[in-house]
């Protein structure tokens, strides 16, 4: 009897499993889940062109210097850049004297520790030092920006969209907006947070950092509009995340050429070796 009922029990569970899977798939197709607040209000990054886009793109050093100035005067108050050393700024076109001055005059100093006495202190930064961490006194823990361009989908376009995407939720003031708020009360921005449709959950703790044109003065005479400052700092943060981007592209094309030539030679060698075998 056991041998008779064993296969029947297994068949029963297999049929039940198949029915459950089919029923779930049918419901998913015919009865889609209700939309979420993120699905209704969240926006994809804006389409913005940068000089380093594409297989032949390269960094614009003038833009990178402007972006560093925006980071230095606006972003560095809250966000660290601890994966980057001061001496790396020579890649942006700064000379050694300028790098030494930037390191020495940086707001946060390098921390020191004497293992013999246990004393802690500080000293002026050196070009060989990494940018010191930022000790934020407010709520939350602002992320380090060293690799933010690689850790966020959209990279530079996402950063630019986020910096220029703050809004007061004007659409919520009309009748349709009020109805949406009734449906999705979690979409309403809580006190102490700021609405930004380019942020994943719509509300973030960072207030709008770039608030007005001319907030930063560019030494090259470029007009420092909010959009331009956002573009420049987005390019700079792309460089901090991928400082070897130019060299990687320059190396990639010769490597592809070599592989193509090697493939052709291998094919011709194969034809020659097996010519008498056919």
> What is the reported pTM?
0.78
- 256 pLDDT band, cuts 50/70/90, is confident
Q: 227 vs 117, which has greater pLDDT?
A: 227
- 174 pLDDT band, cuts 50/70/90, is very low
Alpha-carbon distance of 216 to 233, in angstroms, equals 11
Q: Residue 241's CB: how many other CB atoms inside 10 A?
A: 20
Three-state DSSP class for residue 232: helix
Q: For 94-141, what is each residue's pLDDT tens digit?
A: 999 999 999 999 988 888 877 878 788 888 999 999 999 888 766 678
- 72 pLDDT band, cuts 50/70/90, is very high
User: What class is the 59-166+208-251 domain?
Assistant: mainly alpha
Domain boundaries defined on the chain: 59-166+208-251
Phi, psi of 35 (to 5 degrees): -65, 150
Quick one: what percent of the chain has pLDDT higher than 90?
A: 50
Q: Is 130 part of any known ligand binding site?
A: no
Phi, psi of 221 (to 5 degrees): 85, 0
Which residues are bridge partners to 121 per DSSP? 112
For the cut 90, the answer to whether the pLDDT of residue 93 exceeds it is: yes
For the cut 60, the answer to whether the pLDDT of residue 2 exceeds it is: no
Mean pLDDT value across residues 253-272: 88
Mean pLDDT value across residues 137-150: 86
Sign of the torsion angle spanned by Cα atoms 257, 260, 263, 265: negative
Q: Is 79 part of any known ligand binding site?
A: yes
Alpha-carbon distance of 215 to 244, in angstroms, equals 30
Q: Is 153 part of any known ligand binding site?
A: no
Three-state DSSP class for residue 137: coil
pLDDT at 110: 85
pLDDT at 173: 45
């Amino acid at each position: 009897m056991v041998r008779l009922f064993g296969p029947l029990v297994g068949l029963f569970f297999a049929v039940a499993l198949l029915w459950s899977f089919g029923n779930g798939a049918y419901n998913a197709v015919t009865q889609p889940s209700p939309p979420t607040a993120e699905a209704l209000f969240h926006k994809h990054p804006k389409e913005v062109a940068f000089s380093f886009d594409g297989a032949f793109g390269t960094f614009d050093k003038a833009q990178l210097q402007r972006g560093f100035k925006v980071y230095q005067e606006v972003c560095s108050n809250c966000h660290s850049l601890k994966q980057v050393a001061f001496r790396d700024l020579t890649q942006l076109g700064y000379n050694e004297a300028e790098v030494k001055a930037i390191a020495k005059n940086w707001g946060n100093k390098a921390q020191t520790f004497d293992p013999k006495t246990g004393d802690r202190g500080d000293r002026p930064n050196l070009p060989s030092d990494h940018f010191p961490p930022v000790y934020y006194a407010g709520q939350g823990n602002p992320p380090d920006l060293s690799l933010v361009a690689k850790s966020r989908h959209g990279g530079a376009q996402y950063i630019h969209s986020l910096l220029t995407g703050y809004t007061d939720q004007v659409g919520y003031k009309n009748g349709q907006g009020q109805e949406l708020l009734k449906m999705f009360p979690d979409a309403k921005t809580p006190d102490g947070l700021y609405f930004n449709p380019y942020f994943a959950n719509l509300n973030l703790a960072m207030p709008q950092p770039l608030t007005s044109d001319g907030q930063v003065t560019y030494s090259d005479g470029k007009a420092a509009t909010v959009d331009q400052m956002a573009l420049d700092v987005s390019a700079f943060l792309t460089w901090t995340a991928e400082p070897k981007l130019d060299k990687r592209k320059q190396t990639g094309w010769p490597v592809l050429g070599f592989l193509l030539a090697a493939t052709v030679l291998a094919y011709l060698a194969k034809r020659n070796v097996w010519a008498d075998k056919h």
